[in-house]
Every structure is written in C-alpha cells, then in structure tokens.
Amino acid sequence: MSTLAIDAFAPGDSAAAAALERVLFPRQDPWSESQFRDTLGQEHVRMWAARGGDRLAGYAVLGAFGPDGDREFEVFNIAVDPDFQGRGLGRALLAEMLAVADAESAPVLLEVATGNIAARTLYESHGFSVVGLRRNYYRPSGEDAYAMVRSAVIGGSGPQPGEPAAFPEEA
C-alpha cells in the first residue's frame, strides 16, 4: 500500500503545483510556477506539499501577518489533485496549517468561493465561520467569496508545526 505524506513544499514542486492550479481553478486566475517559487522564498509564508509516491497530490500555503505574539494567519491556498480527493488529504493539509496558528494562539482567515460547498463544509468542520461576503472576489470569473474566520485556539492539539504527517492511502 502506498502512502500519502505531507512535508515541506520544495522549489521543484512549483511546476506541478501550477499545473494543478490550472486544473482546479481555471476561472480564478490560477497561480503560475513563478508565483509558487517566489512565494516559497517569503519569510512570512509556510508551504506544504502532499505527495503520493513521487507525485504532487496537493499543497497548502499559509501567510502570517503581524509581530510575534500578536499574529494572525491567512489560508492563501489549499488544493488536492482530483485523483487524490475524498481521502482526507485536504483535511490533513488544513490541520497542518491550523497547527501553526494554534501554536501561536492566533486566528485564521480565508476566502472561499461561494459555490465551493465541499471546501466551505471542511472549513466549518474546523471551526471557521462566515463573517462576510466579498462580491466579485475571484477574477476573471467574477465569482463571489465568503470571508471566513476561525478564532484563536489556545493550546492547539493537532500535529506540531513542521512534524511530517503520513497516513495510508485508501485503495
């Protein structure tokens, strides 16, 4: 049985992530390979790659804002290859991001397309609430987005930041 594993996003993951963006978000100005590479080098950003063997199965990008001790986080991006969806990988990537925020007892913000029911349900199951509507948020489609927030969690109980996660792949 092969394993899905989550670890640090590497520069070599940028091309595969950009290709996946074009598949998953064709109407929402998908990130380019250079955007992934440039973002990877930013001090205030954490990035994860999920791998199924030598294939990029998904990725997550989390931004940090504010000084130590008074920080908030924003989910910039989370994506799972359609061939790997339905196996808990999106949930595992989100858990990695939330562990970072929880370690600092910080809130987490995000935007999600109003039509993306699966993602919204995932976020709500992790304590996010809709706090607003951003009209025409996604370009060039003009699709609206919900602004969501998860309040700071004191003493989070998920995996520790930077701790690799692995779980058996479903058949």
- Answer yes or no: are the C-beta atoms of 47 and 59 closer than 8 Å: yes
SS3 content of the chain, % helix, strand, coil (to 5): 30, 35, 40
H helix count then E strand count, the chain: 4, 8
Q: What's at 70, amino acid-wise?
A: D
- Answer yes or no: are the C-beta atoms of 60 and 51 closer than 8 Å: no
Domain 4-150 has CATH 3.20.20.70: no
| Rounded CA separation 56/42 (Å) | 21
pLDDT in single tens digits along all 171 residues of the chain? 358 999 999 999 999 999 999 999 988 889 999 999 999 989 999 999 999 988 999 999 999 999 988 999 999 999 999 999 999 999 999 999 999 999 999 999 999 999 999 999 999 999 999 999 999 998 888 899 999 999 998 765 444 444 444 444 443
* Active site amino acids: 111, 123
Nearest 5°: the CA angle 99, 122, 41 is: 45
Question: How is residue 75 written in tokens?
Answer: 């989910």
| Rounded CA separation 133/130 (Å) | 8
Nearest to 40 by CA among 67, 65, 13: 13
| Rounded CA separation 105/50 (Å) | 25
